[in-house]
C-alpha cells in the first residue's frame, strides 16, 4: 500500500522540509518601516552645502520598488554633485581671472603695469616690422603732491591715465611704469605715426583742467634699438631731453651708430 506524500505547508522549504526563512525571501526583505537620510556635504569657498535625500520605505513595499527609489536618490545625488562642481568651477574661474588682472594691472589707474608692459614689449619686438615706443613723464608732478597732497596727486594720475587710454589706437598698450611715468607701445607704428600720436597725447594732457603737462620721448624699433631694454632707454632718454628743452614737448630718440661705422 502506497502512502500518499504529506502535503507541504505554504511556508516550507521544498528541499529540506523546513520552514522558509524570511531573511532569504526577497519579497520580505523590504518589510518593516525605516527612515534613512543620505547626506552630501560639499565645501565651496568656506561654507558647506548639505543636500539631504529622504528615503522612506514603508511596510510591504517590494524590493524592486525600493531599489528604484534608491536609484532615484543616487541620481539626485549625482545631479546635486554636478551642480555643486559647476558652481565651484565658475567661482574658481572668476577668482583666477581676478588674480590675473591684479597681477597685470596698475591698481590706481587701471592701466597695464610694468610687468605686463615688459611682456607685451618683448612679444611685439619678436614680430617683424617697425614698432614705436613713447614714454611720457608728467612735468613738475612733485609740486602737485607737495602743494595739494597725495590724494590730489592720485586724482591727477587717474585723469591723465584715462586721457592717454582714450587717445590711442585700439591695439596699442598704455601702461603706468613708474610714479608719474607712462609708456605707450604702438605695434606697427613708424616714426611719422608715433610723432603724430605723441603730439596728440601732449595736447590732450595739456587741456586737462588740473593744469598738468607731460614731456614725451619716442623711440622706434629697429632704428633706435633692437632689444627691449635698449628701446626703453632710448625713449626714456628722449623724454628727459624734452624736459631739458623746456618741458611739455615731444622729442625723438637718437639713432645709435652701427658697430661698423
pLDDT score for 46: 42
pLDDT in tens, 19-61: 554 445 544 444 443 334 344 443 333 444 444 444 444 444 4
Please indicate, yes or no, whether residues 162 and 224 belong to a single structural domain of this protein.
yes
d(CA 242, CA 203): 15
Signed CA dihedral, 129, 130, 133, 134: sign only: negative
181 is known as an active-site residue: no
Write down the catalytic residue from 170, 180, 199, 206.
180
The number of distinct structural domains making up the chain is 2
Q: Identify whether 33 is part of a domain.
A: yes
Bridge partners, residue 106, by sequence: none
Domain that holds residue 140: 114-252
What are φ and ψ of residue 55, in 5° steps?
A: -130, 105
93 pLDDT band, cuts 50/70/90, is: low
What confidence tens digit (pLDDT) does each residue in 99-118 have? 565 578 999 999 999 999 99
Residue entry with cell 615731444: 250
Residues with Cβ < 8 Å from 39, sequence gap 6 or more? Answer: 50, 51, 52
Is the Cβ–Cβ distance between 186 and 220 less than 8 Å? no
Examine the domain organization and report whether 56 and 133 are in the same domain.
no
Tell me if 5 is assigned to some domain.
Answer: no
Same domain, 165 and 69: no
pTM: 0.64
- Looking at residue 161, which CATH number applies to its domain? 3.30.70.270
Amino acid at each position: 500500500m502506497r502512502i500518499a506524500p504529506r502535503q507541504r505547508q505554504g511556508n516550507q522549504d521544498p528541499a529540506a522540509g523546513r520552514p522558509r526563512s524570511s531573511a532569504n525571501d526577497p519579497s520580505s526583505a523590504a518589510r518593516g518601516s525605516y527612515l534613512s537620510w543620505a547626506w552630501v556635504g560639499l565645501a565651496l569657498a568656506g561654507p558647506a552645502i548639505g543636500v539631504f535625500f529622504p528615503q522612506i520605505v514603508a511596510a510591504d513595499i517590494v524590493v524592486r520598488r525600493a531599489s528604484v527609489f534608491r536609484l532615484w536618490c543616487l541620481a539626485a545625488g549625482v545631479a546635486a554633485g554636478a551642480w555643486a562642481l559647476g558652481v565651484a568651477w565658475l567661482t574658481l574661474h572668476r577668482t583666477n581671472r581676478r588674480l590675473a588682472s591684479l597681477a597685470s594691472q596698475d591698481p590706481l589707474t587701471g592701466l597695464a603695469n610694468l610687468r605686463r608692459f615688459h611682456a607685451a614689449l618683448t612679444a611685439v619686438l619678436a614680430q617683424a616690422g617697425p614698432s614705436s615706443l613713447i614714454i611720457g613723464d608728467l612735468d613738475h608732478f612733485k609740486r602737485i603732491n607737495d602743494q595739494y597732497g597725495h590724494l590730489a596727486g592720485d586724482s591727477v594720475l587717474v585723469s591723465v591715465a584715462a586721457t592717454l587710454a582714450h587717445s590711442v589706437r585700439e591695439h596699442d598698450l598704455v601702461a603706468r611704469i613708474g610714479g608719474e611715468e607712462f609708456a605707450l607701445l604702438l605695434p606697427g607704428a613708424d616714426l611719422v605715426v608715433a610723432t603724430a600720436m605723441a603730439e596728440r597725447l601732449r595736447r590732450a594732457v595739456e587741456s586737462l583742467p588740473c593744469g598738468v603737462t607731460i614731456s614725451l620721448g619716442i623711440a622706434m624699433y629697429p632704428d633706435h634699438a633692437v632689444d627691449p631694454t635698449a628701446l626703453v632707454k632710448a625713449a626714456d632718454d628722449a623724454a628727459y631731453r624734452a624736459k631739458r628743452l623746456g618741458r611739455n614737448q615731444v622729442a625723438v630718440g637718437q639713432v645709435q651708430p652701427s658697430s661698423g661705422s
